[in-house]
């Protein structure tokens, strides 16, 4: 527990310039940020400061060797104005799992949690109350130490920035099952939220967009035989009444929304299978009419329905259903997040 976190408040708030009824995702930033430095072999006390640019030496190792990890979280306000987080300790644990894989020093829990609470208290007014809106929270750690030698840095910076945001996606997306490029490989860093994982996705996604798709379905790196993730999200596939998602591995992120959906589905009596699912199985299900739904799951969008997919120059449309698992599960999870329902799982964290 950190008793005293230094707080330096901005001299002039930007909040009056923001149209909270028309918020794009992650493009407007709150007044303050949290900063914490690792140097001389230890993490120093975090502090809340005005949002500002970060100045780095050109030799800072983040530019050359890519030591950078991040998380995505949200804060919500209920009808009474109370503020809630959703499973924040899971984000803290995963940040340290990612950090360890990239040889970044792990953070103390109190620095993450107490620093986050202090930041949200200062910028509480930035948490929107409009339906579907939230305060997106981006904790990240990167190598700030200098030097061209290919080795871990001797200094790092932990930052939390926040951005009031509306809904991440609107409508359904059409996806392309990838047959050439891979998101990650066995023994790699696919399970970590490393910045480079996402940079490597951009080019194949651009190629898919040029073909008329909005996103890519990633497959395994060996034979492109098994479905793994959807863009930057975990993926769920419904065949008949069974919901299927791949097991986590070196290549697949242990998504917090993913495991929440699995627990909710089990509680709701929805059959769930966590297993490998082949592209062939999905294509055959689409052909014989047993493929009912596909959707991505992640913090930003919660659940993003997929309207159809392309594979080997053929397109397959999913049926229009009146009562989808996607809508049902999204309502349950967002009602928990925004304090509109009971929380039988103990996931909601009140500030």
Both ends of the chain: CA-CA distance in Å? 15
Tens of pLDDT along 178-217?
A: 999 999 999 999 999 999 999 999 999 999 999 999 999 9
List phi, psi (to 5°) of 140: -150, 155
Mean pLDDT of 245-252: 94
Q: Which of 73, 68, 43 is nearest to 56 (CA)?
A: 68
- Closest CA relative to residue 261, chosen from 326, 313, 321: 326
Average pLDDT value for residue range 280-287: 98
| Two tokens, residue 72 | 């995505």
Residue 172's pLDDT band, with cuts at 50, 70 and 90, is confident
User: Helix or strand or coil: residue 198?
Assistant: helix
Would you say residue 1 has pLDDT above 70? no
72's CB contacts (< 8 A; 6+ apart) are 91, 136, 137, 138, 193, 298, 299, 300
Residue 251 has pLDDT above 70, yes or no: yes
**What was the pLDDT predicted at 169?**
60
pLDDT of residue 112: 97
Q: Are 59 and 195 in contact (CB under 8 A)?
A: no
Domains of the chain: 6-165 (3.30.470.10), 173-337 (3.20.10.10)
Query: Per-residue pLDDT tens for 115-142?
Result: 999 999 999 999 999 888 999 999 999 9
Q: What is the pLDDT of residues 103-117, one digit of tens each?
A: 999 999 999 999 999
């Amino acid at each position: 527990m950190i008793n005293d976190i230094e707080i330096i408040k901005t001299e002039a708030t930007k909040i009056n310039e923001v149209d909270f009824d028309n918020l794009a995702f992650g493009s407007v930033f709150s007044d303050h940020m949290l900063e914490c430095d690792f140097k001389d072999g230890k993490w120093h006390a975090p502090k809340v400061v005005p949002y500002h640019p970060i100045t780095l030496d050109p030799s800072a190792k983040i530019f050359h060797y890519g030591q950078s990890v991040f998380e995505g979280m949200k804060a919500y306000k209920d009808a009474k104005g109370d503020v809630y987080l959703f499973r924040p300790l899971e984000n803290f644990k995963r940040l340290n799992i990612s950090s360890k894989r990239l040889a970044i020093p792990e953070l103390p829990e109190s620095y993450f949690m107490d620093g986050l609470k202090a930041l949200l208290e200062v910028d509480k007014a930035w948490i929107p109350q409009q339906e579907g809106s939230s305060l997106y929270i981006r904790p990240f750690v990167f190598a700030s130490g200098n030097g061209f030698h290919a080795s871990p840095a001797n200094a790092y910076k932990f930052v939390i920035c926040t951005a009031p945001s509306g809904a991440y996606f609107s409508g359904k997306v059409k996806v392309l099952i990838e047959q050439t490029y891979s998101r990650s490989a066995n023994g790699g860093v696919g399970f970590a939220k490393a910045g480079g994982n996402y940079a490597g996705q951009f080019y194949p996604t651009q190629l898919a967009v040029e073909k008329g798709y909005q996103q890519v379905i990633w497959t395994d790196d060996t034979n492109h035989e098994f479905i793994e993730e959807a863009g930057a999200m975990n993926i769920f596939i419904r065949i008949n009444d069974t919901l299927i998602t791949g097991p986590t591995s070196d290549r697949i992120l242990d998504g917090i929304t993913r495991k929440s959906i699995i627990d909710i589905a089990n509680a709701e009596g929805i059959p769930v299978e966590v297993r490998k699912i082949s592209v062939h199985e999905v294509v055959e299900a689409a052909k014989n009419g047993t493929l009912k739904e596909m959707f991505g799951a992640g913090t930003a969008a919660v659940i993003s329905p997929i309207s159809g997919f392309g594979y080997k120059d053929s397109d397959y449309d999913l049926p229009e259903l009146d009562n989808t698992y996607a809508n049902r599960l999204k309502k349950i999870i967002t009602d928990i997040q925004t304090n509109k329902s009971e929380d039988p799982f103990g996931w909601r964290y009140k500030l």
